[in-house]
Amino acid sequence: MKITVANTTGIFHRTAAARIVAQMCSNPRSVIGLSTGRTTGKIHEAVCRMHDEAAFDVSDITIFGLDEVTGVDREYFGACYKMLLTEVVEPLGISRDNYLMLPTQSDDFAAECRKFTDEIARRGGIDLLILGLGENGHLGFNQPGTPLGSGAKTDRMDERLDARIRRETNTPDDVALGGVTLGIRDIMHARRIIMVANGKNKTAMVKAMLEGPVSPDCPASVLQLHPNCEFIFDKDAAAAINIDQLQKI
C-alpha cells in the first residue's frame, strides 16, 4: 500500500492534483474517473490552475464521474454532472463527447448503467480513478452492506445528504432521491486508483478502511486488495493510522 500524508491541506490538494495532471501528460488519451464533494473540489481547482500555467493537451482525455445523484435535475448545482462540468470540464475545455456521466433521471437505470460501463470499456477502461471516502465508508454511492462484487447500480443516499438536497432543491418528501454509481467490481477494475481523504471527520473511517477487515460494512476497505492504489491524506485524516510505511510530505 502506498500512503502519502500531506502536512497541510494545501499540499494535500496540490499533491492529488499533480497525480491527475501527470496521468494526463503521460497518456493524453487517458480515461479518468473523478469524484465530487468537499474533498475533491479544491483538487480540481488545482488541476485547472496547473493547466493554466502549463497548457498541456487534454483534447483526447475522457473524464467521467464515478456516481450521480438521482431524482434531481442535472443542472442543479449539487448534481455531480453540474459540479464536474463547472469544476473541470469547462475550465479545461474538455469536449462534451469526452465527458461521460450517469443520468440523474431515467426510467431504466439498469440499462443506463450498462451503457455507461460499456462506453468506458470501449474507450479502453479506466486508467485512473480518484475516489473520495464517505464518512460511513461508502465509495461513490456504494453504501455499507453493498456486496463487494457488485456492478454499477442505484443505491440509497445517507439521510444527511438526502435532507440537504431536498432543502436546496425544494424536493417534496414523496419524490424519491438516491444515487447511481459504478459498482465496487467496476472500481476494482480500474488500472490505477487514488483515494483521497482529509479532515478530522474522516480520521476514524480512514483507520477502518486501512486496518479493519475487508468487509461490506466498510466498502472502502476493499481498496486494501487493489494492486495499484495510492492513498493521499492530510495529517488529520491520517492521525489514527498505525502503519509504518507512510510517506510524509
* Alpha carbon 102 to its chain's center: 13
Among 12, 109, 141, 231, contact with ligand GLP (rule: CB under 6 A):
141
Among 161, 160, 183, CA closest to 72:
161
CB-based burial label for 238 (10 Å; 0-12, 13-18, 19+): buried
- Asked if 91 interacts with ligand GLP (CB under 6 A), we say no
Cell triple for residue 131? Answer: 475516489
Mask: binding to ligand GLP, 117-136, rule CB under 6 A, as x and -? ---------------x-x--
Rule CB under 6 A: choose which of 18, 27, 37, 204 binds ligand GLP: 37
- Smaller CB distance to ligand GLP: residue 36 or 62? 36
**Least distance in angstroms from the C-beta of 19 to ligand GLP:** 16
Task: Pick between residue 2 and residue 38 the one whose CB is nearest to ligand GLP.
Answer: 38
DSSP string computed for 120-142? HHHTTS-SEEEEE--TTS-BTTB
Dist. CA 36–CA 235, nearest whole Å:
21
Contact residue for ligand GLP among 38, 114, 160, 200 (CB under 6 A)? 38
Q: Is 12 in the site for ligand GLP (CB under 6 A)?
A: no
203 interacts with ligand GLP by CB under 6 A? no
Binding-site member from 20, 47, 50, 66 for ligand GLP (CB under 6 A): 66
- Residue pair 122/98 in contact (Cβ under 8 Å)? The answer is no
Among 15, 39, 104, 143, binds ligand GLP (CB under 6 A): 39
Strand order in the sheet with 128-132: 99-100, 62-65, 31-34, 128-132, 193-197, 229-234, 2-6, 246-248
Per CB under 6 A, the list member of 15, 23, 30, 35 interacting with ligand GLP is 35
Q: Which residue is nearest to ligand GLP (CB)?
A: 132
- Where along the sequence are the contacts to ligand GLP (CB under 6 A)? 35-39, 66-67, 132, 134, 140-141, 161
